[in-house]
Amino acid sequence: MKNDKELAWLMERIIHKYIQYEKIPQQYCDGLVLTQPEIHTIAIIGDNEGINVTALAKTRGITKGAASQMIYKLRDKGLVEKRVSPDSDAELNLFLTEMGKKAREEHLNRYKTNGEKFASILNSVPKEAKKAMVEFFEAFEKELDRISG
């Protein structure tokens, strides 16, 4: 049981460190300052032009209310625009502005560098261990969804 307890504490420490990391504002294109949740929202919209708030919330793993608040912030910064859906007047689709596209592009360039670091770490993990990690994280996410409603 000691190993399971140590694993649980390690995971909790990593989660807390990532939460702190997400709060650190970073500068993008000409003085634009964004947090990790903001730039990740921009990246999702850029990857899924025309996405609606419900799908954005699901993709980010946040509530629709939180997604809406994020969209208002990003719209006020001139990064995202809303357009009425061609399918329904009641639905709004999300698109990046030119500045949003520039921020996304810079983020993708940074992500490549960090992605290479994480890829080299993951490349050293045996295939069977990766499979077990995926199963564990999926079960962990499912339990978090269950207990958080």
Confidence at residue 113, expressed as pLDDT on a 0 to 100 scale: 74
Q: What is the pLDDT of residue 79?
A: 97
pTM passes above 0.85: no
Sign of the alpha-carbon torsion through 77, 53, 18, 123: negative
Query: Strand pairing partners for 33?
Result: 27
Q: Does residue 29 surpass a pLDDT of 50?
A: yes
Q: Is 63 helix (H, G, I), strand (E, B) or coil?
A: coil
- Asked if residue 1 has pLDDT above 60, the reply is no
Does the residue 18 lie in any domain?
no
Task: Report the CATH number that the domain containing residue 34 is assigned in CATH.
Answer: 1.10.10.10
Could you list the residue range(s) of the whole structural domain that residue 48 is in? 27-147
What kind and span of H or E run contains 79? none
